[in-house]
């Protein structure tokens, strides 16, 4: 067996692993990456964030073409198939893989393709199939293996009409109707995509409201716009069974109700990718969802082994995973730069999109914090009128006495971009994080960012 020695071995070339690898290499560490797929980028690039967002962008363009009267001079509204819009996502994936592959070469990081398995606390074997002839030794090892859709055992995911959030990207036709079980972020995003393509969606949700971690007003707005596109949302319904034949899929709920459709998408939870990683050889245990527990420095119960990204659970976002990777590498290579990743904005790419950071009205009310609300409706913003994107609003929550910004909640076009302005001001020290910033600084006009000035004036006028 060939033995190789490194300062750091990282398992998994998604955003978390990439962030760790690049930061460690920049600080002079000899780094090896083990990736079980042929191409780097992880699930984020190949099955999750990138393809679903590229898919959503294509659908959004189709909706604009079909609903904007200006385009009628070019032609009548068009129907586009799911495989057609997938092609645009495939182009983006190719660009992402090329770019990320170059990062590894440029930083002289060796990439081993194969399945990693711990031999001991300082050694990882790389398997191709059932065989290995490579052992990597390192002082520090970082687990960044990501997550996969959680699959209940009583659903036949091999059936051509049954999909999860990974395999849905292999859908080779456009169903007329689809059942989506699970109305978390992934379920809501795909409900937007399919309803935008004219597919009749049944969105089945075990809870009593969509995305209940969001501000209530934003959650209500999402429900309205999904229904406006023809989606039927069924709350408080638990999954019981799914049966499929060559013609359709039937889902039975615990309440006894049945729904029937051309296709079924399971979007209820994800599991950490820790199976066959050999964690038992180093004494690391996982929870029932395959996730690893870590401390505030991303260390597992074994001091020289770290875990980052989706494999540790919350917040399970590509943005946070990359920062967690950089943070773990900082502990190893440059401790003074370490910061724990906790202020994470939520970006949800439904149509329209949603983004938020900070406290919600419900949280502030429960904590008895005296807050006020500043609102800006996009229908009144000049830039939104120009782009014909008048759906949505920006809501800023702030302290009534100190004017400190407590939460930013945005729904509508470019919400995930707009939120960063508020996030930046929230994170300022001293008096720099108050509503005064938005009225004392001049914004370009017309822009979507101007919504902050409108919201600030609206909120301060309530005092």
pLDDT tens for 314-347 read 889 999 999 999 999 999 999 999 999 988 999 9
User: Is 154 domain-assigned?
Assistant: no
3-class secondary structure, 372: strand
Domain with 287 in it: what CATH number? 3.50.50.60
User: Is 412 domain-assigned?
Assistant: yes
Instruction: Output phi, psi for 444, to 5 deg.
Output: -55, 145
3-class secondary structure, 40: coil
* Maximum Cα interatomic distance, the chain, rounded to a whole number of Å: 73
Q: Find residue 178's DSSP bridge partners.
A: 201, 263
Query: How many CB atoms are closer than 10 A to CB 141?
Result: 27
Residue 199 is predicted with a pLDDT of 94
Is residue 124 classed exposed, middle or buried when 0-12, 13-18 and 19+ CB atoms within 10 A define those classes?
Answer: buried
Q: Same domain, yes or no, for 445 and 329?
A: no
Residue 13 is predicted with a pLDDT of 96
Q: Tokens for 160, please give them.
A: 């051509």
Query: CA angle 47-296-358, nearest 5°?
Result: 70
User: Is 70 domain-assigned?
Assistant: yes
Residue 176 is predicted with a pLDDT of 95
Q: Same domain, yes or no, for 288 and 198?
A: no
pTM for the whole structure: 0.92
Quote the number of domains for the chain: 3
Question: Do 45 and 14 form a contact (C-beta atoms < 8 A)?
Answer: yes
Residue 301 is predicted with a pLDDT of 97
Identify the domain containing residue 365 by its residue range.
352-460
Is residue 328 classed exposed, middle or buried when 0-12, 13-18 and 19+ CB atoms within 10 A define those classes?
Answer: buried
Q: Same domain, yes or no, for 114 and 253?
A: no
Residue 430 is predicted with a pLDDT of 78
User: Is 87 domain-assigned?
Assistant: yes
Q: Same domain, yes or no, for 263 and 285?
A: no
Q: Cis omega before residue 85 (within 30°)?
A: no
Quickly state the pLDDT bin for 264 (edges 50, 70, 90).
Answer: very high
Query: How do residues 19-28 score in pLDDT, each as one tens digit?
Result: 999 999 999 9
Q: Same domain, yes or no, for 17 and 109?
A: yes
3-class secondary structure, 317: coil
- Which among 140, 193, 123 has a CA at the least distance from the CA of 21? 140
User: Is 344 domain-assigned?
Assistant: no
Residue 231 is predicted with a pLDDT of 96
Quickly state the pLDDT bin for 382 (edges 50, 70, 90).
Answer: very high
Q: Same domain, yes or no, for 11 and 139?
A: yes
Q: Cis omega before residue 413 (within 30°)?
A: no
Domain boundary among 284, 309, 337: 337
User: Is 342 domain-assigned?
Assistant: no
pLDDT higher than 90, residue 137: yes
User: Is 246 domain-assigned?
Assistant: yes
Number of alpha carbons in the 13 Å side-chain half-sphere of residue 274:
26
Quickly state the pLDDT bin for 132 (edges 50, 70, 90).
Answer: confident
Domain boundary among 305, 337, 369: 337
Domain boundary among 237, 268, 299: 268
Q: Same domain, yes or no, for 41 and 103?
A: yes
Residue 245 is predicted with a pLDDT of 94
Query: How do residues 290-311 score in pLDDT, each as one tens digit?
Result: 999 999 999 999 999 999 999 9
Q: Same domain, yes or no, for 10 and 135?
A: yes
Residue 95 is predicted with a pLDDT of 93
Q: Find residue 251's DSSP bridge partners.
A: 242, 259
Domain with 385 in it: what CATH number? 3.30.390.30
Q: Same domain, yes or no, for 130 and 170?
A: no
- DSSP letter, residue 359: -
Quickly state the pLDDT bin for 49 (edges 50, 70, 90).
Answer: confident
Q: Same domain, yes or no, for 10 and 112?
A: yes
Q: How many whole angstroms separate alpha carbon 371 and alpha carbon 364?
A: 7
Number of alpha carbons in the 13 Å side-chain half-sphere of residue 449:
15
User: Is 157 domain-assigned?
Assistant: no
pLDDT higher than 80, residue 154: yes
Query: How do residues 414-434 score in pLDDT, each as one tens digit?
Result: 999 999 999 999 999 877 899
Tell me the percentage of the chain whose pLDDT exceeds 90: 84
Which range is least confidently modeled, 74-88, 206-220, 248-262, 297-311? 74-88
Query: CA angle 118-121-126, nearest 5°?
Result: 25
Q: Same domain, yes or no, for 106 and 205?
A: no
Residues in the chain: 463
Tell me the percentage of the chain whose pLDDT exceeds 70: 100
Q: Same domain, yes or no, for 260 and 276?
A: no
Quickly state the pLDDT bin for 45 (edges 50, 70, 90).
Answer: confident
| Average predicted confidence (pLDDT) for the chain | 94
Question: Do 435 and 459 form a contact (C-beta atoms < 8 A)?
Answer: yes
Residue 47 is predicted with a pLDDT of 84
């Amino acid at each position: 067996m060939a033995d190789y020695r490194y300062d750091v071995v990282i398992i998994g070339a998604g955003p978390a692993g990439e962030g760790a690898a690049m930061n460690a290499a920049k600080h002079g560490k000899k780094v090896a990456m083990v990736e079980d797929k042929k191409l780097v980028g992880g699930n984020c690039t190949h099955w999750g964030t990138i393809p679903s967002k590229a898919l959503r962008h294509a659908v959004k363009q189709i909706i604009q073409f079909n609903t904007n009267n200006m385009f009628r001079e070019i032609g009548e509204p068009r129907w586009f198939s799911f495989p057609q819009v997938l092609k645009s996502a495939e182009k983006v994936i190719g660009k992402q893989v090329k770019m990320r592959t170059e990062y590894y070469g440029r930083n002289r990081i060796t990439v081993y393709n194969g399945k990693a398995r711990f031999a001991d606390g300082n050694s990882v074997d790389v398997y191709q199939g059932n065989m290995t002839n490579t052992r990597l030794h390192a002082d520090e090892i970082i687990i960044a293996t990501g997550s996969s859709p959680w699959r209940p055992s009583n659903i036949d995911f091999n059936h051509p009409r049954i999909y999860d959030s990974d395999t849905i990207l292999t859908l080779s036709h456009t169903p007329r109707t689809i059942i989506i079980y699970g109305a978390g972020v992934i379920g809501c995003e795909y409900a937007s995509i399919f309803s935008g393509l004219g597919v009749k969606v049944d969105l089945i949700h075990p809870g009593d409201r969509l995305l209940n971690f969001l501000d209530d007003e934003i959650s209500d707005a999402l429900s309205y716009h999904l229904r406006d596109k023809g989606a039927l949302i069924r709350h408080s319904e638990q999954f019981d069974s799914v049966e499929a034949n060559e013609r359709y899929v039937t889902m039975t709920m615990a309440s006894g109700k049945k729904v029937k459709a051309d296709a079924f998408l399971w979007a209820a939870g994800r599991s950490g990718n820790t199976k066959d990683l050999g964690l038992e050889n180093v004494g690391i245990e996982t929870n029932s969802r395959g996730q690893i527990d870590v401390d505030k420095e991303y260390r597992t119960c074994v001091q020289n082994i770290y875990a980052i990204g989706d494999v540790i659970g919350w917040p399970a976002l590509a943005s946070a995973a990359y920062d967690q990777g950089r943070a773990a590498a900082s502990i190893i290579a440059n401790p003074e730069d370490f910061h724990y990743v906790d202020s994470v904005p939520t970006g949800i790419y439904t149509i329209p999109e949603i983004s938020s950071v900070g406290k919600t009205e419900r949280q502030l009310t429960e904590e008895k914090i005296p807050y006020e609300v500043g609102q800006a409706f996009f229908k009144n913003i000049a830039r939104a009128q120009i782009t014909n994107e008048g759906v949505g609003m920006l809501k800023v929550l702030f302290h009534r006495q100190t004017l400190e910004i407590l939460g930013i909640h945005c729904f509508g076009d470019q919400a995930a971009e707009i939120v960063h302005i508020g996030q930046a001001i929230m994170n300022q020290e001293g008096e720099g994080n108050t509503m005064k910033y938005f009225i004392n600084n001049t914004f370009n006009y017309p822009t979507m960012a101007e919504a902050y000035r409108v919201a600030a004036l609206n909120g301060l006028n309530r005092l």
